[in-house]
Structure 1
C-alpha cells in the first residue's frame, strides 16, 4: 500500500498492559480497532506458550501479529474483555458523532475508505478501497475491494460494498445536510471535506474524487477515527432514529458485529465471518467502567479483564516484573495525551 507522511502523527506513550498468553490469538488480522490497545482474550487457563507479544493496534487500523499461519489457526477463538466509559454516547450516526466511545465502537464494526496501518511509520492502508491512485495533485481514484460485505442486518442484508457507498459517504460529509436538505451543525468533520470539488462513480468498483486544490492531508481525513463508511440505505432508514442507541442501527463492513448494547457501558460484539481477512477473536465484550484504579487492577489480575491502563508508571513496572512472560506492555495512540489546568494568579 502507498505510504504517506502523517501530519497528525503523535508520540506513542505507555498506555496499557495486556495478557501475553493470548496475544497470538489477539493478532486478529483485519479487525478494525478504534481507540483501544490490543489485548489478549480472557480465560482461566495458564499460559501454554502462545504467540509472542508482537501484536500492535492503531486506531482505525488492523491488529497484526508475527505468529505463523499454523499458530494463528491453532489459537483462533476467545472473547476479549475491556471496560467502557458509560453514558458517553450521543448518536450511532458516526458522521455526526463527537464522542470517543462511538468512534471506538465503529472502529470494530465499520471500515473507512482507507485506514491507518501504522501511526509510528505514518502508513495508510486500504479499507473498503483496496488501493488508490493519484494521477495528479487534485485527483484520487479509489478501487473498492471485491470481497467486502455489509453485515447481514436489514435493510442492507449483507450485500457487497460498492463505489456508491464511498461516493455517498464523501458527498454527505461535504454537504453536511440531512436527507431532507436541512443543514446540520453536527457534521463535525464537514470543514475537512470542503476541499472536495466533485465525486464521480466511474463503475461499481471505482470512485474518482477531484479536489478544488491540492490537499496532501485528504487521505488523513479519510483515515480518521470518525471517517467510517455507513451504508446509504441504513442512513435512509435510521437517520431520524440514530439517537436511539440500538445495536440493529449499527451496520458496517468491519471485522466485528454489534449484537447487544447498553448505554451504561455494556456491549457485545461477535466475529464477522464474511470479513475480507481472517478474524481470530470470537467476540469482544465491554464491561462498565471501573472508575477505581485498584478495582481495575484487581479485575485484571483475576482475569476478569484483559487490559489495564495504570495511571502510574510504578504500577506498570511492578506488573511487568511480577507477571514476566505472561503479560506485555502495549503502545497505543491517544487523542488526548496531556491534560492540566493553569491558574493565572500564580506560577504554573
Structure 2
C-alpha cells in the first residue's frame, strides 16, 4: 500500500506507512476524510526503505558530451482510463447546466470545462485559469484579460475554435441571471456571487469590461465549479438540457464522447488543452449503486478511485486489494446538522439546538466512523484556511471538548428549561443526506455517555 501525501498533509503532518503499520497508527489529516485511489501498482512493504549511500565527491574529468537522458522510471505514462464509480443515478442527469439551481451536471464540467479563477491552496489568493489577469480601481468597473490560445473541443458544436471574450461576457451575464429568458433570475442560483452586475462587454480579442452597481470583490465569486465558463454555442444547442457529444463543447482537458442519462458518461483526452493534454485516454463516470457495491467493484479492479472511505471500508479495501494507494488531504468537505427552526418545530427553541451541540461528542463520533487521525475538526470557516479556528483551539471550547462532563450537565439543564426534564417527551426525526427519516433513538432524547452517532449527521 502506498500512502501519498499532499500540500495539506504536509501542513497537517502525516507519515508514510506500510499497510500493517498504517492500520495501527494515527496519520494526521485534515477536514473530512481520506480517499483511496488505485492509480498504479504500489508496494505493500512494511519495512523502512534502505538508506541511500553517502554522497562522495567525484574526481575531476575532462568534459564530455552530455548523454541523452532516458525517461525516468516513474515518469507518467500516457494511456488508460480513469473510472469513477459513485452512488446513485443522480450523478448522470439529463440536464447538465451548471448555472442552474438543482443541476447535477456540474460533474461533467469538472472534466470538460474550466472556471475563470481558482483559489490557491490556503484560499488567500486567486490563481488564473480562463482569466489571465484582472484589475479594478474602484471595485465597480473591472477589466478582465482572458487567457490567450484556449481551444474549445474539436467536435461538431465548436470545431475547436478559440475561446473568446464574447464567451466570457455572455457567461458572466448568464450566471448573474441577466439573460434569463423570462426575466426571472431565481433559477440562476449563483447570481448573488455577481450581485449588482450591470453589464459585461467584450472590448477586443483579449479584454472584457465588467461593471457593477456598487463595489464587489470580483472575481472571487467565480471560484466554484458551478461557475464554469462555456462556449456560447452550448446555450443554443439544447445540450445543456439533454447532453450529447454533438451538442456539448467545453475548454477542459476532456471532451464528451458518450453520454447515457442515468448510466454513465465518457470524456476523451482533449489533445489541444491549453494546460497540456492529460495522460489518460479518457474518463468514465458511472454510478454503481450503494457504498457496498462501490467497494466490491473497487476491490475487483473495476474502478480507479474510491472516495471518502470510512474506517471499516478503508480496512476492508486495504486488506483485500493489493497495490491500492491511499491519498489523504484536507479539503473543504464537512459534516453538519441542519435544524428545522420553523415556528412550532422542536428546534425552534434555541436552547435545544445548543443542548444538541453540547451533548455531541464530536471526537468520539468521528473516531468511530472515520478512524483516529482521519478527520479534522473545524468551525464555520474551514480551518485549512489561516483565518479558521484551529482544531487545538476548538477542543478547548464548550461542545467540542473531549471531557463532556460539564457540557452534558449544561445540556441537561437547557433541555429541562425548554420543558423536557431529563429528556422526557423530547422526540424528533433525523435524516442523513439521501436517507429515509427514522424515529429518534431513545438515547438521543437525553444527553449521556453515547450521544448521536456521527453517521446521523454525516453528509
Contact 1:80 1:283 in 2 (8 A): yes
Contact 1:149 1:274 in 2 (8 A): yes
Contact 1:95 1:227 in 2 (8 A): yes
Instruction: Give SS of 2:329's match.
Output: strand
Contact 2:76 2:279 in 1 (8 A): no
- CA 1:183–1:192: 2 relative to 1, 3 Å: same
* Alignment map for 1:62-101 (pairs within 5 Å): 74-84=76-86, 85-87=88-90, 89=93, 91-100=95-104
Larger RCO (CA under 8 A, 6+ residues apart): 1
Superposed displacement of residue 255, structure 1? 0.6
Instruction: Give SS of 1:125's match.
Output: strand
Paired position in structure 2 for 1:197: 198
Paired position in structure 2 for 1:138: 140
Contact 1:90 1:99 in 2 (8 A): no
Contact 1:87 1:265 in 2 (8 A): no
TM-score computed with the length of structure 1 as normaliser: 0.71
Paired position in structure 2 for 1:34: none
Contact 1:14 1:329 in 2 (8 A): no
Between the aligned partners of 2:43 and 2:334, the Cα distance in structure 1 is: 37
Between the aligned partners of 1:177 and 1:90, the Cα distance in structure 2 is: 22
Deviations 1:46-95 (A, max 9, x none): 4489xxxxxxxxxxxxxxxxxxx957854222211111431452523322
Aligned match for 2:108, one of 99, 105, 109: 105
- CA 1:341–1:138: 2 relative to 1, 3 Å: closer
Paired position in structure 2 for 1:27: none
Between the aligned partners of 1:307 and 1:280, the Cα distance in structure 2 is: 16
Superposed displacement of residue 310, structure 1? 5.2
Q: Name stretches of at least 5 consecutive residues in structure 2 with no aligned partner.
A: 1-29, 45-70, 347-425, 428-444, 446-451, 453-459
Superposed displacement of residue 224, structure 1? 1.2
Aligned match for 1:163, one of 162, 165, 171: 165
Q: Name stretches of at least 5 consecutive residues in structure 1 with no aligned partner.
A: 1-10, 22-45, 50-68
Contact 2:237 2:247 in 1 (8 A): no
Instruction: Give SS of 1:185's match.
Output: helix
Deviations 1:83-126 (A, max 9, x none): 143145252332224234x11211111112223443x4444322
Between the aligned partners of 2:139 and 2:73, the Cα distance in structure 1 is: 44
- CA 1:282–1:339: 2 relative to 1, 3 Å: farther
The yes-or-no answer on 1:174 pairing with 2:209 is no
Structure with the largest fraction of strand: 1
Contact 1:114 1:219 in 2 (8 A): yes
Superposed displacement of residue 155, structure 1? 3.5
Superposed displacement of residue 280, structure 1? 1.6
Number of corresponding residues: 288
Paired position in structure 2 for 1:26: none
